[in-house]
Amino acid sequence: MFLANSTSRKLLLTLVFTSLFTACNSPATYPTKTPEPVTLTVFAAASLTDAFTEIGAAFEAANPGVTVTFNFAGSQGLRTQIEEGAPVDVFASANTKEMDALVAGTFIAQDAPRLFLTNKLVVILPADNPAEIASLEDLEKPGIKLVFAAEEVPAGNYSRQALELMNAAYGADFKDKVLANIVSNEDNVKQVVAKVQLGEADAGIVYNSDAVAAPELQTIEIPIESNVIATYPIAPLIESANAEISESFIAYVLSDEGQAILAKWGFGSKP
């Protein structure tokens, strides 16, 4: 009887220790896997640099595991990169021309682009304004050094349209006289800002958002009758590897939170 009880106790203890060991080494029954990290690639017009950098950080904070990487440049250059096969999830352009070209090339679905903000033009001057430019009319003075975005860049095209409108106020040859003062045509508006900041130009025409991002510069407003209002579209790429997150990012840009950030950086509301 004692032997039987002893044997039973040994078997019982063996079963208990085996159960404990198995329990300690078994996978947990609740989910422990964290979401797979995702990188969202956004190509955006150079004028969006400051606002989208802030929007990207806010979007990352609200979506753990998502990293937003940006490529900021002139919209025309970004379109070319996409056409040449650059892997992109979202494209935000400073004009509809580049977006329309990508729709025509079937890189973006026809009904995908959405207008998400507006922007206006402004003249920027160095902080000390050595050329003593006090008005738009002063831009035609001989010897003034101007820097514009190149004509194929959205901001450069808008700037030349604005000069055409200014002819009505300052004379039929005003545009030609101003263009004769251009010493450099840049690939994007941020390069125009940099040249003015460095004192390599007496003035430049950029977007209002660029002036807000460089508060040390002086500015001259361009009246509405001579201004050209830019409209910016945004869309996901058809070949995006992160379609759902792309749509979420665009939804955030269009949301009240996203629009508030854009307004903070000097952009107008979506049309």
Give pLDDT, residue 27.
38
Same domain, residue pair 107 and 129: no
d(CA 144, CA 189): 19
Mean pLDDT score, 125-136: 98
Please indicate, yes or no, if residue 26 is contained in any of the structural domains. no
Contact indicator for 228, 268 with CB cutoff of 8 Å = no
Asked if the structure places residue 254 within a domain, the reply is: yes
For residues 50 and 213, what is the distance between their CA atoms, to the nearest angstrom? 7
- Quick: pLDDT tens for 17-61: 444 444 444 433 333 334 689 999 999 999 999 999 999 999 999
CATH number for the domain including 133? Answer: 3.40.190.10
Is residue 129's pLDDT more than 80? yes
Based on the fold, state whether residues 127 and 154 are members of the same structural domain: yes
Please determine, for residue 114, whether its predicted confidence score (pLDDT) is greater than 60: yes
Helix residue ranges, H only, the chain: 2-25, 49-62, 75-83, 96-104, 154-170, 174-179, 189-197, 208-212, 243-254, 256-264
Q: Judge if 244 and 258 occupy the same domain.
A: yes
Does residue 76 sit in the same domain as residue 101? yes
pLDDT for 12:
40
> Structural domain tally of the chain?
2
Give yes or no for residue 6 having a pLDDT over 70.
no
Cβ atoms of 192 and 126 closer than 8 Å: no
Task: Name the pLDDT band for 154 (thresholds 50, 70, 90).
Answer: very high
Domain containing 97: what range? 38-118+232-264
Answer yes or no: do 53 and 105 share one domain. Answer: yes
126 and 186, same domain (yes or no): yes
